[in-house]
Amino acid sequence: MHPTITGSVNNSGTLDLTNGSGSPGNTLVINGDLNSVAGIARLMTRLNEGGSLSNQATDNLQVLGNTTGTTFLDITAASGSTGAQTDTNNNGIADSNEGISVAQVAGTATADSFALLNGYAAAGPWRYDLYSFAPGSSDASQRRVAGSSDNQYWDYRLANSYINEDGSTGGTGGRLAVIPQVPAYITAPVGLAYYTAAIVDDLHKRLGDLRQQKAYDNGVGGEMFVRYVGSTLEHKSDLSFKNFSYNLDIDYNALQLGGNVVKLDGASDSLRGGLAYTRGRTKLTPHAVDGYSNTVFNSDSIALYSTWLRDSGFYVDGALSYDWHRGETDVSHQKTVGKLKARGWSASVESGYPFILQNDVRLEPQAQLTYMRLNMDDFTDQDGARVQYDRYGQTIGRVGVRVDRSWSDGRGHLFTPWLRTNYYHGWGSNAKTNVSAAGGGGGRAATPLKVVALVRCGKWVRARR
């Protein structure tokens, strides 16, 4: 389709160049002015490396007159979009003969006569920005618009975005930019690992001093507990910026309800068994110069646990938990750009022994070993990015010490302030994420982004009181 409109066009709606065909190559020529009042032009483009006109498969808009206002380009990635690097001379800058020309103006225009509707175009994980080249800086060999064969025309081109660690663009010290939701997808397993480690916690936090009470006879029935878990922390990645490393703000909270259903007392020890249900919420916000994104997970967990306790205070505690996670990722211009689902399980064994010091101060060394397994579902988001996760498993070791002292106020109320310090270390596989283009209609899919995120709850010293 190659229509020509003679006369000026006033656009406050949508100019659809795609013709509903699903293939690029359509042209709209306006033999007059284009006046836009928040108008949109819809184009289909094969987002590849571009370059020579023969290697550009795109709908394009040509204005022989002048432009006023800003026309927002709604770019759909065509089949065969590879997201290939447009910077063919590797200088980190979009040059006038690189990328893909989507609009040209022979008359008067400005740098913002055209802009991308959502701020970017996407080929799988890769971000394309719109670059404008004024008359004299455009390239004569790229000219489509009629009127002459020189470089005295405005050219608006799609090209890869290059970004540096400080957020600046251009130069050879950075890397290709990704669409803003990709950092959220990469860091999602990291945040869920922290959440899982928090809810499968130690005996003191789950039962407190209820473990010292013998309020019930042997058999079925026993203590109930309700506890709240919440924390705000920052995960710092060990990877480099060029390897798509992102630090991560983690804000989680959970309410846990449970209790012992079996309690057996011996002459000098006791055995308890119970179950717990946990409902939690985790908000993950990566530190990403690629753009703002965040993911919120709602999680449900069922846990079984058993505790063997000696009268001396020595204990061995085991827990087995199964978890369900449902998340939504938002970016600045769109809510719920992606929906994430995951399932996982974890097993934990912990032991500790208290030593009684002067003034009834109790010092309790503790050790804990936890294994967690996380399976995240593959999905396709609203930008057509296909996200796939490898199964992730990790073992986390903890050694720590707790100091406390209990006293009564004389009215039967028991108070136990405490201080605990822990050291964590993790072993096992890393969280691996693969982001590519969905479908492709038989064409070559976009070059995938494969990222390994180090999830180390380890080398983390934490003090609580």
- Per residue in 252-283, pLDDT (tens digit) is 999 999 888 888 888 999 888 999 999 999 99
Per-residue model confidence (pLDDT) at position 439: 57
Per-residue model confidence (pLDDT) at position 21: 67
Per-residue model confidence (pLDDT) at position 459: 35
Q: Mark the ranges of the chain whose per-residue pLDDT is less than 70.
A: 21, 202-222, 439-448, 450-465
Per-residue model confidence (pLDDT) at position 212: 53
Per-residue model confidence (pLDDT) at position 69: 97
3-state SS, one letter per residue, for the chain: CCCEEECCEEECCEEECCCCCCCCCCEEEEECCEEECCCEEEEEECCCCECCHHHCCECEEEECCCEECCEEEEEEECCCCCCCCCCCCCCCCCCCCCEEEEEEECCCCCCCCEEECCCCEEECCEEEEEEEECCCCCCHHHCCCCCCCCCCCEEEEEEECEECCCCCECCCCCEECECCCHHHHHHHHHHHHHHHHHHCCCHHHHHHHHHHCCCCCCEECCCEEEEEEEEEEEECCCCCHHHCCCCEEEEEEEEEEEEEEEEEECCCEEEEEEEEEEEEEEEEEECCCCCCEEEEEEEEEEEEEEEEEECCCCEEEEEEEEEEEEEEEEECCEEEEEEEEEEEEEEEEEEECCEECHHHCEEEEEEEEEEEEEEECCEECCCCEEEEECCEEEEEEEEEEEEECCEECCCCCEECCEEEEEEEEEEECCEEEEEEECCCCCCCCCCCEEEEECCCCCCEEEEEC
Per-residue model confidence (pLDDT) at position 303: 94
Per-residue model confidence (pLDDT) at position 29: 97
Per-residue model confidence (pLDDT) at position 436: 87
